[in-house]
Structure 1
């Protein structure tokens, strides 16, 4: 059995298409198909349901893919470990972030890169929390930045980073703009643009509204926090955004960021890595960087960080 055969099987399970899997592995489709066929012969079990097109993996194939993902992750971890012993940390750190936390991600990746100049970072910032958890379990990511809530499953180590709170982002001419705080009830009566309902960041906002007995109906919904800022900039809409995003944009000209109260609510955001042993050397290094940071204190200095 060769690592290459396992890589091809994992790629096929991920892409669900022979041609795309071959392209992702930089080989021809016949070469990928033949390697998987030989793996089936060696294991003496069918792995792929074949037809005129890809029909999915057999039950045996699904089980073996999980093993293959673990074997390949351990191989990569071994390479990184040896490389770190020889010349310092090298390789690629893969981080996923929920959109609401991606504005603060640079506060973590920048010191990591400074501490490990030979390492590179790939940051995916548009992942839903469920997608991130799945990619961490299948070793497609080394770490994630997400909500530390009961929705997070077992099998992870966490490093708390900061508490997410929300501000009302509105036009400077709105009657609430010059107030020190605004209530969620007052915000609910404005023409709102919010994150999409499928996103955990939106579910957090909906829970706060529900706690106050409110159910606003936004006219515009999006999967991008940056798009919320763009919508408010038109002067037509108001929005509710995580205050940590003010680290990226500040409070743009013509807008105001007003802390929200009644109720006051915060949700922990943190770094998440697999709890498996041995832990990826990349994940360990990032967790060490996160523990050394005072990220929360940096964000607390932003306007809208806490009600006055």
Structure 2
């Protein structure tokens, strides 16, 4: 039954029989058979079928809610039993907003030093992707914004506040300034993260509060690409101070703090709400509290 519930979760996530089967490492006929057997067992139609996947029926949506809960509980049970045998062990899957990747490394390094039998898989994703992946049981936790857009029912552990800096060439007109205002950036040749990133929405809002409509002539979902463009000359970008220091370190680039109006966005660890958390996840939340900086 658990395997068939996982099939339903994968199908709802991928919205395609072939991709769902591939994600599970099974054939498409095996997936179709498993879903049909689940429907026969429950006595309802879960999936609208046609020439292609047509979505879940209302009964399928309700079954999906229970499937996520049952599969999640089963995984937590296995984690509890493994902890009783082996202590903290296994693999922690993290999805992280691009601007928090240096903090993800800091969190994983501290945790691994205390718990060497736990491995990490760290993925770069948007804040919206992180919430969807938590819901679909694709990850154990994420690093994302805590107070800028709705999170839903999750457990959180604050890490830091995102303070922004301008990154530019040393011969840029603003490079000699000790600090800059958002209004000073009007007309600069901006390269920024793509609009699907919450960081970009935060930056757009800061510009609009300053009465500026920002125009990014180059966009990317990679902070490395942004700094590479700045290093090539003519461009400027805006990054959190920690990420700017890491990417621009050792390069002939200037980093200038941007004066903030109001409180900066909070970033932290987010995980699906559980009572109690698995020992591994609870240890990760505890580690986040230890390294947090207010």
Distance 2:107 2:186 in 1: 33
Alignment equivalent of 1:167, drawn from 165, 168, 171: 165
Distance 2:282 2:151 in 1: 20
Distance 1:183 1:247 in 2: 19
8 Å contact kept, 2:165–2:244: no
- In the alignment, what sits opposite 1:244? 242
Given the alignment of the two structures, is residue 129 of structure 1 paired with residue 142 of structure 2, yes or no?
A: no
In structure 2, the residue corresponding to 1:219 is in which secondary structure?
strand
- In the alignment, what sits opposite 1:77? 76
Distance 2:20 2:282 in 1: 30
- In the alignment, what sits opposite 2:286? 288
Distance 1:248 1:264 in 2: 25
Given the alignment of the two structures, is residue 205 of structure 1 paired with residue 198 of structure 2, yes or no?
A: no
Using structure 1 for the length normalisation, give the TM-score.
Answer: 0.89
Superposition deviation, residue 65 in structure 1: 1.4
Structure 1 unaligned runs (5+)?
Answer: 298-308
Given the alignment of the two structures, is residue 139 of structure 1 paired with residue 163 of structure 2, yes or no?
A: no
Structure 2 unaligned runs (5+)?
Answer: none
| Deviates most, 67-76 or 267-276 | 267-276
After superposition, the Cα gap between the structure-2 partners of 1:30 and 1:138, relative to the gap in structure 1 and judged at 3 Å, is closer
Given the alignment of the two structures, is residue 51 of structure 1 paired with residue 50 of structure 2, yes or no?
A: yes
- In the alignment, what sits opposite 1:300? none
Distance 1:192 1:267 in 2: 21
Distance 2:33 2:132 in 1: 29
Using structure 2 for the length normalisation, give the TM-score.
Answer: 0.93
Superposition deviation, residue 162 in structure 1: 0.8
- In the alignment, what sits opposite 1:10? 9
Alignment equivalent of 1:195, drawn from 193, 196, 216: 193
| Deviates most, 186-195 or 77-86 | 186-195
Superposition deviation, residue 173 in structure 1: 1.1
After superposition, the Cα gap between the structure-2 partners of 1:262 and 1:270, relative to the gap in structure 1 and judged at 3 Å, is closer
In structure 1, the residue corresponding to 2:33 is in which secondary structure?
helix
8 Å contact kept, 1:165–1:242: yes
| Deviates most, 165-174 or 20-29 | 20-29
8 Å contact kept, 1:47–1:61: yes
- In the alignment, what sits opposite 2:59? 60
8 Å contact kept, 1:144–1:271: yes
Superposition deviation, residue 264 in structure 1: 6.8
Distance 2:245 2:265 in 1: 18
- In the alignment, what sits opposite 2:232? 234
8 Å contact kept, 2:190–2:237: yes
In structure 1, the residue corresponding to 2:214 is in which secondary structure?
coil
After superposition, the Cα gap between the structure-2 partners of 1:104 and 1:188, relative to the gap in structure 1 and judged at 3 Å, is farther
| Deviates most, 40-49 or 12-21 | 12-21
In structure 1, the residue corresponding to 2:150 is in which secondary structure?
coil
In structure 2, the residue corresponding to 1:89 is in which secondary structure?
coil
- In the alignment, what sits opposite 1:102? 101
In structure 2, the residue corresponding to 1:48 is in which secondary structure?
coil
In structure 2, the residue corresponding to 1:221 is in which secondary structure?
strand
Distance 1:161 1:220 in 2: 30
Distance 2:276 2:131 in 1: 19
- In the alignment, what sits opposite 2:27? 28
In structure 1, the residue corresponding to 2:54 is in which secondary structure?
strand
After superposition, the Cα gap between the structure-2 partners of 1:264 and 1:17, relative to the gap in structure 1 and judged at 3 Å, is closer
- In the alignment, what sits opposite 1:306? none
